[in-house]
Amino acid sequence: MNFNIKNTFITNLPGDQETENTRRQVDEACYSFVKPTKTESPELVHYSKEVAQFLGLSKSYCQSQQFLKIFTGNEIIENSKPYAMCYGGHQFGHWAGQLGDGRAINLAEVEHNAKRWALQLKGAGATPYSRSADGLAVLRSSIREHLCSEAMFHLGVPTTRSLSLSLTGTKVLRDVLYNGNPAYEKGAVVCRVATSFIRFGSFEIFASKRDNITLKKLADYTLKHFYPELEQGAKKGYVALFKAVSERTLEMVIHWQRVGFVHGVMNTDNMSILGLTIDYGPYGWLEGYDKKWTPNTTDIQHKRYQYGQQGDIALWNLLKLANALYPLVEDAAPLEEIITNYKKMYSVKYFEMMKSKLGLELDTKKDLKLIEQLELNLSLTETDMTIFFRGLANLSKELVVPEKADLTFLDSVKNAFYKIEEVKGETLLFWKDWIGQYVTRLQKEELSDIERKQKMNLVNPKYVLRNYMAQIAIEAADKGDYTVIDELYGLLKRPYDEQIDQEKWFAKRPEWARTKVGCSMLSCSS
Ligand code: AMP
Ligand code: MG
């Protein structure tokens, strides 16, 4: 297989002069050359046919020994020079200094069908940026990254992709709950694919060192390769870059809110300059609708990255990016204007998105209230977000909410309630009121029930990668059974389709998963 290597990052940008793979602070450089660490007995667990296809890789190649060797770091692509990227970041609100690709190694940028893709191994060994960690990744988190990248793409959410998931054959020591109980786990490598893996933190690192020369090189490179439609090499261009990044970031977060995705670690080093969802760690999906929910146990105290705050945190991160770009712009006003606009547009776009989830097309003044009331109702008792919105599409606009206290008016959404018996008293009255208002509102629309259902089902997924589903796949894979990975991968390729034969996955989280590690509780330990 001849990869069509078209490296731009390492050919356009300054690199680290040091070539030894030792952990260090790196200055005036965007990357360090480093080779993946060879592994004992690599084994391909799964690969994405879609990603292989857009990279121009045939089925037989993906099943070959060479594919396995390259995508586990045991052989490097001919004429390539693998490298780790240098970046910094704000972690949980605090400047953390140099971070960088501590366990990610870019193999090459390759071109196929006039599109260029960066191929990056995650978990292929230590790099100059590994600090005190080992540069490795374990099977459980690699399964979660591989499956979720692909699931998010099929949900229509901007994301990095995942080509392959392999075992390395090496054991990795991890303390999952950071409570002094380390244990060996199977090591794994994922090959991530994206147009670029540049992050907000890639700019912050140079701004923090007042290295405006490298900062400018990186901004010019980003404009030239990823935002060619914007003005190049001028102050106006850097402002336009910030505006474009802020718009893409906003769009990404609105999608997260739509599908109930909680990233879990929205540090600035995990924010893509292309507005892609990146770095799948302790992410999760809302089951019970709770704006304060975060899957990340490391964040349990402050819940900085809770579902309902993702829009504000993205803004906070954008502010850090604005600060980093400021030396190139030297004028705060246009950057501040973009920030102000983000705030305004977030509300507008969130409102539009929620209306689409409800199948509302006309503009009416009361819709905002209707949405706010719904969000309150959803959190009165544990109510599954995905099942609720999917079910709501089946509600008839002819429905008459009865006076008596029966629950038949909730028939279309009743499966969403974790304990339907809790829907009584005031809660029941709230729901009666809301469904009544919603039906009245639907009657103003011209869409028939069938048309509305079709539209709603295009924005309200039926299947998402609930943590417990990933956990079932992980436990089977740990025993050498990869069938669940394949099943979920197939299921999540068509998240909006009914897939009647797969309805076992259209179900509330089972009770056993409520408190299980890996389901309700995840840590950054991966
Ligand atoms: P994350 O929380 O995964 O976004 O990682 C934050 C920083 O820590 C990044 O610079 C990572 O590359 C680095 N990092 C995380 N896990 C490891 C690991 N096992 N070995 C080396 N570096 C790591
Ligand atoms: Mg990261």
Contacts of 283 (CB under 8 A, 6+ apart): 144, 148, 261, 262, 263, 264, 265, 295, 522
Q: What is the pLDDT of residues 204-236, one digit of tens each?
A: 999 999 999 999 999 999 999 999 999 998 999
Contacts of 451 (CB under 8 A, 6+ apart): none
Ligand 1: does its nearest atom lie under 6 Å from the Cβ of 130?
yes
Mutate to test the pocket of ligand 1, among 23, 99, 200 (most ligand atoms within 8 A of CB): 99
What local confidence, expressed as pLDDT, does residue 365 receive?
A: 84
Q: What is the pLDDT of residues 285-337, one digit of tens each?
A: 999 999 999 999 889 999 999 999 999 999 999 999 999 999 999 999 999 99
- CA 134 to ligand 1 centroid distance, Å: 9
Confidence of residue 515 (pLDDT cuts 50, 70, 90): confident
Q: What is the pLDDT of residues 16-63, one digit of tens each?
A: 999 999 999 999 999 999 999 999 899 999 999 999 999 999 999 999
Q: Which residues surround ligand 2, an ion (CB under 5 A)?
A: 270, 279
What local confidence, expressed as pLDDT, does residue 219 receive?
A: 98
Q: Which of 16, 101, 220, 269 is catalytic?
A: 269
- What pTM did the predictor assign? 0.98
What local confidence, expressed as pLDDT, does residue 402 receive?
A: 85
Distance CA 458, CA 213 (A): 46
Distance CA 514, CA 498 (A): 26
Ligand 1: does its nearest atom lie under 6 Å from the Cβ of 103?
yes
336 CB neighbour count, 10 Å cutoff? 12
Q: Where are the domains of the chain?
A: 8-198, 367-446
Ligand 1: does its nearest atom lie under 6 Å from the Cβ of 399?
no
Ligand 1: does its nearest atom lie under 6 Å from the Cβ of 134?
yes
Ordered DSSP codes for 340-359: HHHHHHHHHHHHHHHHHHHT
Concerning whether 269 is annotated as a catalytic residue, the answer is yes
Mutate to test the pocket of ligand 1, among 23, 32, 34, 103 (most ligand atoms within 8 A of CB): 103
Distance CA 291, CA 308 (A): 4
The more confidently predicted of residues 179 and 82 is 82
Question: Percentage helix, strand, coil, to 5, in the chain?
Answer: 45, 15, 40
What local confidence, expressed as pLDDT, does residue 112 receive?
A: 98
- Please, are residues 91 and 267 in contact by the beta-carbon 8 Å criterion? yes
Q: What is the pLDDT of residues 411-449, one digit of tens each?
A: 999 999 999 999 999 999 999 999 999 999 999 999 999
Ligand 1: does its nearest atom lie under 6 Å from the Cβ of 88?
no
Distance CA 415, CA 390 (A): 10
